[in-house]
Structure 1
Amino acid sequence: MRPLSGVFGSHPLLADAFVCHLGITLPDHPLVLPTAFGFDPSGPDDGGSLYVHGSVAARWLVASPGAQLCATVTMLDGLVVGRSAFHHSMNYRSAVILGAGRLVDDPAEKDHALELVVDHMIPGRTATLRRSTRKELAATAVVAIPMREASVKARGGGPGDEPEDVATGTWGGHIPLQLASSAPVPDNDATGEVPDDVAARARSLG
C-alpha cells in the first residue's frame, strides 16, 4: 500500500473509469458489487474521499459504516499477445483502495457527493437538473471511503517474450482497447436537441 497523495491528481484512472467494484465482508459471506462512484481529492477524509451510494435498505450499505471496505477501479487498455502462453497478458490501470466506510450524514456533503457521482458520468449535468426531493434523499445512503492509501498498478506495451521465442518468428504484440461511445439516443418522450453536456460527453468518448 502507498499514499494516494498526488497520484490521482496526475493519474487519469479515476477520471477515466465509470465503475468501481466495492468489496465488503457481510456476516454470512463476502460481497463484491459494481457501482457508480464519485471522488473528491479535497474531501474531508484522509487523502480525499471516494463516494458510493445506494438504497438505504441495501445490506451492504447498512453494514458499511465502520467496516473495512475495498474499492477497486480498473481500466482495461489492451490485450497482450505473446509468443508463448506464459507471456500473454493484459494492459491495464488499476487501484485498490482500502479504508473504513463512513456514512455521510451531513446534508451539504451528501448533496455534494451525489452531485459528484452524476457529474462524473456527465460533467456539468447536475447544474441542469432539478434538486433531489426529500423523499429521494431519504431513500439514498452515501458512504465515503478515505483515499489515503491504495495499491496502484499499471501495465503497458507488448509482451516480455523470451529471446528464443522471438527467434522462432511467431508474431507478438498487443491489441489496444478503448472505451468509445455512439451518438446519444433520445428517450421516446425526449423533446428538443441533445443537451450540450450530453453531446460533449459523447464526443469526449467518441
Structure 2
Amino acid sequence: MTHLELSDLVVGYGGNAVCAPVNLTLGAGDIVAVIGANGTGKSTLLRTVLGLQEPLSGRASAFGWPVDERERRFRARVAGVLDDDAFFPGVTVREHLVLTARGHGVPDAGAVTDRVLDHVGITGHGGAMPHTLSSGQRRRFLLASALVRPRDLLVLDEPEQRLDTAMRARLGETLRAEADVGTAVLFATHDDRLLAASGASAVLLSDEDAVLLEPAEAPGVLAGFR
C-alpha cells in the first residue's frame, strides 16, 4: 500500500509557491529526506503533508485519503513533529506522554512511555514540567511525543535541531529502525551525517525543480549547503 503520495504538489503562502512542484511516493519502509537551501520550502512542504496547510495546487494523500489532520483515521496512522513546542499545560513530561499514548489507544501506555523516555535520554526529567526543560531536552520531549504514538507514517521537521552529537547519532539509528519495521519516514534535515546514518534517499527542493537523489549521493549534495 502507498503510505504517502504527492502529485504535482505546489506549496506556499498567499498564492506564491516556495518551491517547484513535488512528486513523491512512499510505501512501507521507505525513508526520504527533504533537503535544500534555506527558504526552499522544506517546512512548508511538511506542514502541507501533515494537513496543517492547504496546498496551492496538486494533491497530497496518505493511505489513499486526502491529508487532513482533523480526520481520526489520519491521526491514527500519522505522527509528526514540527519545529515548535506544543504540550498540555499543567502536566509533567511523563504525564503528557502517557496521555498522548492513551489517547491513541496504546496498550501499557506507561511502560511504552518509560521506554521512549529512556531511548531519547530524558528519563530523569519525566517529573519535570515541559517549560522547565532546556531547548535540547524539549526537542527530545517532542520527538518522544511522536514515538509513543502508533504510526505508519512519521514526519519530522529538522529533528536534529538542538540535539547534541550523541543524540544525533542515535536519531539516525532510530529513523533507520523505524523504516526497518515498515514505517514510512519523511524528514527535513540540514545534517549530512544524519542523512548518511539513516540511509535515506532525498528530494532536493529548489524554485526550479524537485530532484530525487539516491542514498549514496544525497549526503554529499547536502554537505554542499554548509
Taking structure 1 as the reference length, the TM-score comes to 0.20
Larger CA Rg, structure 1 vs 2? 1
